[in-house]
């Protein structure tokens, strides 16, 4: 991702139907940290484009501080009209390769159990992420935190 992609990524993030205002603000904040500080290594951002170079998906991930080889996936989203076309899977494959090339061995995803995230959890499951922990009522009463993981080596 480069600075030239920021407007398209901001539009994509705002268009995601299951992100609320706090989530879009947080997602954009991480994009801006990535773009504005070239020395930082906490956040990586990558985009997936179609054959017309139009941005269709993006992902943000980084190493978990104080661990050897654990990485967090912070955000991934594809355009609502481009779901199911393989952009999410391709991007996750790219993220996993990048994590492994940084000697990462474990990719962790934290997500929500609420209804609007059901499709997302189905997506993660279809690409090999397993639920390893659940914190009941974490985000809200009836909205658990799901911790999903994939061992990369
Ligand atoms: C999650 C998300 C990124 C997936 O992106 P996508 O581009 O639609 O994913 P793909 O088209 O690559 O699908 C990959 C696989 O997941 C599967 N999949 C997608 N949605 C699924 C669902 N609801 N249940 C089961 N499998 C599902 C697809 O069938 C596909 O499998 P296949 O390749 O074997 O056919 C997209 O749905 C999204 O942006 N959701 C909203 C934002 C969000 O919740 N982000 C995560 C929180 S940070």
**Is 16 near ligand 1, meaning CB less than 6 Å away?**
yes
**Is 145 near ligand 1, meaning CB less than 6 Å away?**
no
64 close to 108: Cβ distance less than 8 angstroms: yes
Reported pTM: 0.95
Q: Whose CA is nearest to atom 48 of ligand 1?
A: 75
pLDDT of residue 11: 97
The number of CA neighbours under 13 Å toward the Cβ of 119 is 11
pLDDT of residue 124: 98
What is the average per-residue pLDDT within 90-105? 98
Phi/psi for 80 (5° steps) reads -50, -35
Nearest to 93 by CA among 127, 50, 61: 127
pLDDT tens-digit profile of 48-67?
999 999 999 999 999 999 99
> In the chain, which ranges are continuous DSSP H helix?
6-15, 21-36, 87-101, 118-126
- Write down all domains in the chain, each with its CATH number in brackets: 3-151 (3.40.630.30)
58 close to 24: Cβ distance less than 8 angstroms: no
Sign of the dihedral through C-alpha 18, 35, 42, 48: positive
Å from CA of 57 to ligand 1 middle: 11
What is the average per-residue pLDDT within 20-37? 97
User: Beta strands 130-140 and 143-151: pairing type?
Assistant: antiparallel
Nearest to 18 by CA among 131, 146, 115: 115
- Cα–Cα distance for residue pair 7/68, rounded to 1 Å: 34
**Is 24 near ligand 1, meaning CB less than 6 Å away?**
no
For a pocket test of ligand 1, which of 123, 145, 148 has the largest count of ligand atoms closer than 8 A to its C-beta?
A: 123
């Amino acid at each position: 991702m480069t600075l030239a992609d920021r407007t398209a990524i901001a539009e994509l993030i705002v268009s995601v139907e299951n992100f609320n205002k706090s989530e879009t603000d947080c997602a954009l904040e991480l994009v801006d940290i990535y773009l504005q500080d070239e020395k930082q290594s906490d956040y990586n951002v990558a985009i997936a484009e179609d054959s017309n170079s139009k941005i269709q998906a993006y992902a943000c991930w980084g190493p978990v501080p104080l661990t050897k080889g654990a990485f967090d996936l912070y955000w991934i989203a594809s355009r609502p009209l481009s779901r199911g076309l393989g952009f999410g899977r391709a991007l996750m494959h790219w993220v996993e390769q990048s994590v492994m090339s940084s000697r990462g061995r474990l990719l962790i995803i934290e997500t929500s159990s609420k209804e609007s995230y059901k499709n997302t959890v189905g997506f993660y499951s279809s690409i090999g992420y397993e639920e390893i922990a659940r914190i009941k009522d974490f985000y809200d009463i009836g909205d658990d935190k799901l911790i999903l993981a994939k061992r990369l080596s």
